[in-house]
Structure 1
């Protein structure tokens, strides 16, 4: 079975994330979407809230499994015998950062984990969770970036 993993903070999950996930899910038998708990990042939503939003957003993709994870992804991937990490790329800045992660994961996995880069679709080149959060704070338009369900959650959360 071809098993791949796509990870992120998903604070919140955007249409850009969903686009990469849908495209990646066609490349493998099973795609694990790991919602990361990164202690160094201050998130708008809790880990449980983020996982629930991701699950709801992806419920129409049958070969996707959503998990929560903190720690080295290479360790989790080894446990699951997963050999492929999927990463989305929006711009050159993403490439430089993601390439360094790819080399690191390849190295710490004894050359067993490969990174597959998927370029962002044109309409999602400038979509990011941080831009979405900023727009929400100033009551900006979010429907190009988020599903309606997520928009409601974000608008409510920024008012708290």
Structure 2
């Protein structure tokens, strides 16, 4: 079986992420979407909710499995029997960083990295940008699945104003 890993924080998952995962699903028998647990970072969505969202928005792809991992990506890849990592590249600046990681991963464990150029529709898109726009009430529905857009709206909904004193 040809298995690959698509790692990331997915906080939140965007249409750009889903484009890469979907394209990878056509190239490999199984794709493990690996949600990184980083205890030094607090995300907008808890890990469990990210896994839930990814499972729901990828349910139409029968060869996708969503898992969490902490530690070295290469150790996770070994445990999953996945010799390939698939990463999307938006711009040259992504390549500089990702190339270093890819070279380290192949040196540490022989895990290869397949770089996929991002669909131009999503080349500017990042989870951080989506969160920033949503936080200020902007419409992110063109950039994330509708379920994720609803969760973002709920997360950033303004609390009710306190009642005025008589």
For the aligned pair, the TM-score class normalised by the smaller chain equals: over 0.9
**How far did 1:41 drift?**
2.5
Q: TM-score, normalised by structure 1?
A: 0.95
Aligned residues: 158
> What's 2:114 paired with?
116
Moved over 4 A (4+): none
Residues of 1 paired with 2:144 and 2:95: CA distance? 24
1:133 aligned to which of 122, 131, 134: 131
**How far did 1:40 drift?**
2.9
Stretches of structure 2 that go unaligned for 5 or more consecutive residues are 160-166
Q: What per-residue deviation string (whole Å, max 9, x for no partner) do you get for residues 65-121 of structure 1?
A: 100111111112112221000000000110001101101111110xx2110000000
Residues of 2 paired with 1:115 and 1:142: CA distance? 30
> What's 1:143 paired with?
141
Q: Secondary structure in 1 aligned to 2:68?
A: strand
Stretches of structure 1 that go unaligned for 5 or more consecutive residues are none
Larger Rg: 2
Residues of 1 paired with 2:36 and 2:27: CA distance? 22
CA root-mean-square deviation:
1.0
Residues of 2 paired with 1:107 and 1:33: CA distance? 22
> What's 2:43 paired with?
43
Residues of 2 paired with 1:157 and 1:66: CA distance? 23
Q: What per-residue deviation string (whole Å, max 9, x for no partner) do you get for residues 98-154 of structure 1?
A: 101101111110xx2110000000100011100000001111121111111100101
> What's 1:21 paired with?
21
Q: TM-score, normalised by structure 2?
A: 0.92
